[in-house]
Amino acid sequence: MQLPREVIVGKGTLARLPEVVKRLGLKGKALVLSDAQCYEIAGKTVSGFLEQSGLTVDFLLVKSMTVDDLIKVEEQLKDQKPRVLFGVGGGTIIDAAKLSSASQNIPFVSIPTTVSHDGIASPLASIKGSDKPYSILAQAPMAIIADTEVIANAPWRFVVSGCGDVISKFTAVKDWKLAHLEKGEYYGGYAASLALMSAKLVSENANLIAEKKNEGLRILLEALISCGVAMSIAGSSRPCSGSEHLFSHALDIINSNHAIHGEQCGVGSILTSFLHGSNWQKIKSTLKQIGAPTTAQELGVKDMDIVKALQMAAHIRPERYTILHKLNLNFDACETVARATGIIS
Ligand SMILES: [Zn+2]
């Protein structure tokens, strides 16, 4: 079980980097991985604080993060041999930092500039263009430093997406429990409770988030970090990724102009909550309150893409038993579910 040693969340927390570096005993060379925009927003400040802490700092800016880009980052790590990698950016950069540092056996520190999904603290990462559309095990961050001042300046849509990802844990945990009861799969009550509590807290505080209050943002960040910890405890993405995530992965494959991960997971959660016979209306109303998409149109995809994705979802990961595997719905049944929940009209 890998857990972060330091988690610092709040306004202006980047300034606390020197004390974190000292406590973690980091010395020697550090590499800051970012993209041009995030480097301007936060990477520069991070580099400055790291230099102040006595580290020798280099930076590597990437434009995109495909399998080829990842190989280049790994080559740079082999070449420069930093002692620690700082990932400064959105989900893609954090994932790249996680994967490349794990492959080179060095620790990484997660410094998110957006809160679009729970990868900021989890040991799992996904990479575009790989043969697996879902996340694979890499390593958990050694520390997470989340500055709400930086995050509040990112487009609001990322916050909405982060909320969708957290709220989708209601169905992820239901799927996990189902796999435990029907297939004897390992089920960790503590990890499940942690994921569920995060979903509850975000739902209960939807008004604070919708009003863009700093407290709401902090609750969301803590929820996303707790989800990451839940995955570390479980040793897999199980507590945080069920049928609704499979639906989102399927939508990514079907529609190249897909929406953001958390937005799709939220919609997926409405659909699969309906299939579980749970309170899907509550999930839908909470997402609406936050301003998250709850229809195909709001997601920017065709009605039929929703139906196709719901049917395809179970085939993406046959080994990950969920309500979709149990029910094995045909196309017509998927369409009925999408209509009944008002996702398509
Ligand atoms: Zn997710």
**Dist. CA 113 → ligand 1 center (Å):** 17
33-42, 65-74, 235-244, 319-328: which has the minimum mean pLDDT? 65-74
**Dist. CA 223 → ligand 1 center (Å):** 12
**Dist. CA 28 → ligand 1 center (Å):** 34
Q: And the tokens for 110?
A: 């997660």
Does position 98 have pLDDT exceeding 90, yes or no? yes
**Dist. CA 11 → ligand 1 center (Å):** 25
**Dist. CA 245 → ligand 1 center (Å):** 6
**Dist. CA 24 → ligand 1 center (Å):** 29
The per-residue DSSP string of 158-225 comes to: HHHHHHHHHHTHHHHHHHHHHHHHHH-----HHHHHHHHHHHHHHHHTHHHHHTT-HHHHHHHHHHHH
**Dist. CA 126 → ligand 1 center (Å):** 10
**Dist. CA 241 → ligand 1 center (Å):** 6
**Amino acid 307: pLDDT:** 98
- The average pLDDT across 170-181 equals 98
Cα–Cα distance list, 119 to 89, 99, 129 (Å): 12, 12, 18
Angle at 188 between CA 311 and CA 281, to 5 degrees: 45
**Dist. CA 17 → ligand 1 center (Å):** 28
Read off the pLDDT of residues 130-147 as tens digits, 9 standing for 90 and up. Answer: 777 778 889 999 999 999
**Dist. CA 228 → ligand 1 center (Å):** 10
pTM for this one?
0.93
For 32-45, give one letter per residue: b (16+ CB within 10 A) or e.
Answer: bbbbeebbebbbeb
**Dist. CA 20 → ligand 1 center (Å):** 28
**Dist. CA 138 → ligand 1 center (Å):** 15
**Dist. CA 116 → ligand 1 center (Å):** 9
**Dist. CA 172 → ligand 1 center (Å):** 10
Read off the pLDDT of residues 5-55 as tens digits, 9 standing for 90 and up. Answer: 999 999 999 999 999 999 999 999 999 999 999 999 999 999 999 999 999
**Dist. CA 12 → ligand 1 center (Å):** 27
**Amino acid 150: pLDDT:** 94
**Dist. CA 322 → ligand 1 center (Å):** 16
**Amino acid 135: pLDDT:** 82
The per-residue DSSP string of 33-101 comes to: EE-HHHIIIIIHHHHHHHHHTT-EEEEEE-S--BHHHHHHHHHHHHHH--SEEEEEESHHHHHHHHHHH
**Dist. CA 240 → ligand 1 center (Å):** 7
In the predicted model, what is the mean pLDDT of the chain?
95
Indicate the Cα dihedral angle 175, 247, 68, 1, nearest 10°.
-10
Q: At what angle do helices 303-316 and 331-340 cross, to 10 degrees?
A: 120
**Amino acid 292: pLDDT:** 98
Cα–Cα distance list, 101 to 32, 122, 251, 262, 294 (Å): 12, 14, 29, 25, 37
